[in-house]
Amino acid sequence: MLKSFFNSLEDPDRPLLGPNYWSLKKMGLLLHYGKLGNIFSIFIHNLGILFVFTQYVELYLIRSDLDLILTNLKISMLSVMCAIKANTFLLWCAKWKEVINYVTEADKYERNTDDPNHVQIVEKYTKYSRRITYSYWILVITTGFITVLTPISQYAFSSTIRESVRNGTEAFPHIFSSWVPVNKNVFPFIWTTVAWHTHFCIYGVTLMMAFDTNVMVTLVFIGGKLDLLRERCKLMVGVDGVTMSDVDLTEKLRELHKTHVLILRYSRLFNSLLSPVMFFYMVMCTLMLCASAYQLTSATDTTQKLVMAEYLTFGIAQLFIFCWLSDDVLTKSEKVMLGPYESQWWLANVKQRKIILLMAGQLRIVPVFTAGPFTKLTLSTFLNILKGSYSYYTLLRK
């Protein structure tokens, strides 16, 4: 059943981005519904900002309880990121569409080949994209289910908690910590608040599924495109000892240069859209991991420990995937410049060798993805964030 659902998401017009484009449309991020539909979509996304505001109002009201503050911060920081992702995507929707169209058209161009090496690379990055997309979807959905069901199940299966809620000695274990203009610990407002929280949990889950996997697959494609460019550079002079004429080599290099310039152009456009989001994400993630680790080590209930462990795992996995894929693109872009030297350059004449050197110099320009103006998205950054989170954690413990 799950396999048939995934197969239904495939789109012949978008052989790489099929599932990702589907999720972006379903979330209303592409603004393709017409004027009224787009207004409604923007309204729904801006409700998320209202929900974030209520979380910070609640944070002020519970400022005397450290454990409640950490619980609120952990969730509210993730909510802030969801609001930032949604609204920046809507604000720069035209530019995002430009990046998506480039990936789609460039991917179609790469699939129109009979070269076995090229076919293998295309199949590899396509399968890799699907594995990342579906694995991440499952991870996010699992986290969402646990977030919603854990407090509700605690109330449903614990007579002690139910009795404490009834006599007012204990608050109802709500999904999120947010302010509402009614007493959310008495019937019927308990279940009204639960429905309100469940809605935003589902919204956040589906938003992360759409936004994050679109970013991940774009990074995978750029890496695959660089691999294909390197393969073409290996054949730039000729094959099996047969060299090209000056005119043919010049035309070949012009095509390779154009391909590399397009990769750089759209990588920079993509980074201009992603970098502000990742800057806020890095800051929020550092604090979120710290809060999760503190609650995990200070929790006494087994169920609570399992929930904290899963939440901590999700935060680390999400951060790792972004840094891993960005670091992989950086590594592949540095290896592209080896392509000209892996060709039959020694068979070229002096004029051709000069042109090849110019091409090798062009390939030294690499696409870099950043988190704001301060740091690159690399595995080193990932480790630094974990170190920073641990430092804040030890400070809290003291």
What pLDDT digit, counting tens, does each position of 11-56 carry? 889 999 999 999 999 888 887 767 787 888 888 888 888 888 988 8
Q: In the structure encoding, which two tokens stand for residue 246, read together?
A: 């000056």
Contact 345, 237 (CB under 8 A): yes
Q: Look at residue 384 in the predicted model and tell me its pLDDT.
A: 85
- Report pTM: 0.91
Q: Look at residue 299 in the predicted model and tell me its pLDDT.
A: 65
Largest CA distance in the chain: 91
Q: In the structure encoding, which two tokens stand for residue 254, read together?
A: 């012009």
Contact 171, 165 (CB under 8 A): yes
Q: In the structure encoding, which two tokens stand for residue 109, read together?
A: 């161009």
As a whole number of Å, the end-to-end CA separation of the chain is 51
Q: Look at residue 396 in the predicted model and tell me its pLDDT.
A: 65
pLDDT band at 57 (very low <50, low <70, confident <90, very high): confident
Output the 3-class SS for 337-361: CCCHHHCCHHHCCHHHHHHHHHHHH
For 64, the 3-state DSSP assignment is: coil
Contact 179, 61 (CB under 8 A): yes
Asked if the bond preceding 188 is cis, omega within 30° of 0, the reply is yes
Compute how many other C-beta atoms are within 10 angstroms of the C-beta atom of residue 217: 25
H helices of 235-245, in order, are: none
DSSP-assigned letter for residue 378: S
Q: Look at residue 398 in the predicted model and tell me its pLDDT.
A: 62
Q: Look at residue 243 in the predicted model and tell me its pLDDT.
A: 74
d(CA 260, CA 249): 16
Compute how many other C-beta atoms are within 10 angstroms of the C-beta atom of residue 115: 13
What pLDDT, in 10s, does the model give residues 252-299? Answer: 889 999 999 999 999 999 999 999 999 888 888 877 777 777 777 766
DSSP-assigned letter for residue 371: E
What pLDDT, in 10s, does the model give residues 93-124? Answer: 999 999 999 999 999 999 988 888 999 999 99
